Structure 1
């Protein structure tokens, strides 16, 4: 099992970041490169949670999204072709006095088969840099989206 932790600072508010995380419409891959429209399926969406399948490049997972806490989004893997066990993602938001937001991200990858276990080791080592770059792109995309929206 691999647990990867990232921290990023953004000009977006926690509300703006949560809105982006929970926008399951077309074009999601513009914000989250590992979530292409081809794989995206919303099974159920409530006011503070959702059941969504997403993925890319042959890897998919069904996630239960919970954003009932305005400062945290927990995405628990409920099914996947590779991930099982305690897999998922947690985004925690902390408002800073300067108006920015610290975003703490924890990704847990527990392989449920041989391919998942091997990829979990890769993600936990050399893959960490790739995931960090993806988070950086996501933060920039959300900031651009927020800058473009009317206030």
Structure 2
């Protein structure tokens, strides 16, 4: 069960980053590199939560149905309820705090493999996951730093 943690400091304001985390419009696939449009399905969205299936073509198609919760200010919790790769209870946790004119972001990812595909992806995460997930988050932050078109 890989657990990956990393931290980033950025000029992106906390509200802007959390808004990107909780934007489930079709633009989500453009913002987040690990989300393909064909794997994105929004089941239901409430004022501080969402039930969403998302994923990518990685390893033949990895998807998960997640419950997003942003009811605690500065925190977005994402818990897997169903997946073709991960057991329920697998999760992401984002803690976003003001830092100067930007943000300090702490990310914790817990993955519980459900099958052979999950074990293979988990092994890849153990080897290169921190760098890959940090890099994907930095890519999102670069997009968010650009002025709106």
**TM-score strictly above 0.5:** yes
| Alignment match, 1:89 | 92
Seen in structure 2, the aligned counterparts of structure 1 residues 53 and 85 have a Cα distance that, compared at 3 Å, is: closer
The CA distance in 2 between the partners of 1:100 and 1:133, in whole Å, is 18
Gaps of 5+ in 2: none
8 Å Cα contact 2:14-2:102 kept in structure 1: no
Instruction: Check the 8 A contact 1:30/1:141 in 2, yes or no.
Output: no
- Aligned to 2:86, the other structure's residue is in SS state coil
| C-alpha RMSD of the superposition | 1.3
Aligned position for 1:137: 139
Aligned residue for 2:76? 73
Number of equivalent positions: 146
Q: Secondary structure at the match of 2:39?
A: coil
- The list of structure 1 runs, each at least 4 consecutive aligned residues, that deviate by more than 3 angstroms after superposition, is none
**Residues 82, 88 of structure 2: 8 Å contact kept:** no
- SS of 2:63's equivalent in the other structure is strand
Residue of structure 2 equivalent to 1:61: 64
Measured in 1, the distance between the counterparts of 2:38 and 2:13 equals 29
**C-alpha separation in 2, matches of 1:124 and 1:143:** 30
Are the aligned partners of 1:61 and 1:77 in contact in 2 as well (CA < 8 Å)? yes
Task: State the Cα distance separating 1:118 from its structure 2 match.
Answer: 2.2
Deviations 1:92-115 (A, max 9, x none): 01112x222101111111101122
The CA distance in 2 between the partners of 1:122 and 1:3, in whole Å, is 12
Structure 1 gap ranges (5+): none
Name the CA distance, whole Å, in 1 between partners of 2:98 and 2:13. Answer: 8
Q: CA deviation digits over 1:82-141, x for unaligned, max 9?
A: 011431111001112x22210111111110112202211211222332222111101111
Query: Is this contact kept in 1: 2:81–2:89, CA < 8 A?
Result: no
Contact 1:93–1:103 (CA<8 Å) still a contact in 2?
yes
